[in-house]
Structure 1
């Protein structure tokens, strides 16, 4: 490889990143190319894991893939299913290891009074963060981490605090729907307001997802496909968490209303406190 220009160092989510562009000359007569990522060897000991996003255009073959410590190489003859799984797995792992996004989702679950509410909230969150995630990842929208990260933390605290405020104002009737006309979505005024708040915060969370990949380049259909699959991995884990947690809380609320209120209130309080702590830390 030949270095193309100088290297730069920047910070993402409080971690220093080095950006180095390398130009490779590959044999033109090869039937396939194998690309390996060996920047940090296993014996190096300091860097525990790396994730490398690769977009390639070699010998009339285009595609993209994701490399990490367990998958250090790929062939340009890799199948569609292999490429799909690599980015799907990367998205799933990102949400599972991103405790702030999991807590935001948990705040949505405990604050939802009906199945309709959590489905609409999850769908709204998905649509909102998908828009900004894709726009930011391909370089069309940019927001500094100094703004995105504190707002994500604040969103966690506010969404969890919504449920706490209803418990404080309505007591044992916190999970009841308000009387009066409901909109086309079957939500009362409180549910509609919460949905609007979730959408706004979802836009910011999309910027956080894009920052995790660190992609900033011109429009590419190959890259867009990879980002969509990455997003599908995020959504699969999100739906799995909802499917596991919401039925348990719903059953508890139905069988033991008082206990259900205490449990959801305790969860919301813990999530809100964690969000506020993160907000102060990220602002400072």
Structure 2
């Protein structure tokens, strides 16, 4: 698969075409960043709602969890990277489950035990996860270092960081302790529902794209663009950290 990917990149694909796709991709990322400054920020209306309500509100928190996932561009970029070269559903299920396990564990434990991490730092690490996965898809580690990192372990570990990104933001909003555990569980269920919805949309698009003759040529460009978006997220968050 990787050799076909690299060969497709080397033949019949001009640099101007590659840069055009990268510019389009980064423009979309910038648009998303313009509407929500921090990757894990909660919309103002949702923030007020979270701070005001008390007691068990399962449906509301499920909705908020699903909304966070389907609008979280950092999650979606990493999820795209995970499934980019996965064709069999059993392999997709394994990797997505590992990501969900990591994300759910640190989100729930982080809020319950009040483990807060600086939002800029954790979001920069999440940007790094996007860079890591894009480089992995490009076969960079084998070419540069002569070995392939454990992709399952990396998916789980970065899933932990994605979960801490959300828990750190939720802690800042001082959710009422009344009904905290069931509300967090409902939120997590919503996150997983949102992840399934996002995954379904990604796989539908990927299934059509993979049937085209230019998939392997454009796959290189897409992963370079994804890596560039990850570096952009890292730079943005570190700039915020040093200037805040």
User: What TM-score do the two structures reach when normalised by structure 2?
Assistant: 0.68
Within 5 Å, give how 1:91-240 maps onto structure 2. Answer: 91-165=65-139, 193-214=150-171, 222-240=179-197
Instruction: Determine the structure 2 residue equivalent to 1:181.
Output: none
In 2, Cα distance between equivalents of 1:108 and 1:207:
19
Instruction: Determine the structure 1 residue equivalent to 2:227.
Output: 272
In 2, Cα distance between equivalents of 1:15 and 1:237:
15
In 2, Cα distance between equivalents of 1:50 and 1:195:
34
In 2, Cα distance between equivalents of 1:108 and 1:277:
19
* 1:50 CA drift (Å): 4.8
In 1, Cα distance between equivalents of 2:39 and 2:207:
38
* 1:264 CA drift (Å): 3.0
In 2, Cα distance between equivalents of 1:214 and 1:207:
10
Q: Is the 8 A contact 2:137 2:223 kept in 1?
A: yes
Structure with bigger RCO (C-alpha 8 Å, 6+ apart): 2
In 2, Cα distance between equivalents of 1:106 and 1:123:
14
SS in 2 for 1:143: coil
Tell me whether 1:84 sits opposite 2:84 in the alignment.
no
Q: Is the 8 A contact 2:58 2:182 kept in 1?
A: no
In 2, Cα distance between equivalents of 1:126 and 1:199:
8
Higher radius of gyration, 1 or 2 = 1
Within 5 Å, give how 1:42-61 maps onto structure 2. Answer: 49-51=45-47, 52-53=49-50, 54=52, 56=54
Within 5 Å, give how 1:17-56 maps onto structure 2. Answer: 49-51=45-47, 52-53=49-50, 54=52, 56=54
* 1:249 CA drift (Å): 2.2
Q: Are residues 85 and 154 of structure 1, via their aligned partners in 2, closer, same or farther at CA, if it must alter by over 3 Å?
A: same
Alignment RMSD, CA only? 3.4
Matched residues, number? 197
Q: Is the 8 A contact 1:137 1:215 kept in 2?
A: no
Q: Is the 8 A contact 2:70 2:194 kept in 1?
A: yes
* 1:105 CA drift (Å): 1.3
* 1:252 CA drift (Å): 4.2
Q: Is the 8 A contact 1:131 1:206 kept in 2?
A: yes
Name which of 259, 277, 280 aligns with 2:214: 259
More helix by share: 2
Q: Is the 8 A contact 2:106 2:160 kept in 1?
A: yes
Superposition misfits of 4+ residues, deviation over 6 angstroms:
216-219
In 2, Cα distance between equivalents of 1:267 and 1:227:
35
> Runs of 5+ in structure 2 lacking a partner?
1-36, 240-244
More strand by share: 1
Query: Which string of whole-angstrom CA distances, capped at 9 and with x for unpartnered residues, describes residues 212-236 of structure 1?
Result: 3236879968211111111111111
* 1:262 CA drift (Å): 2.5
User: What TM-score do the two structures reach when normalised by structure 1?
Assistant: 0.59
Q: Are residues 265 and 241 of structure 1, via their aligned partners in 2, closer, same or farther at CA, if it must alter by over 3 Å?
A: farther
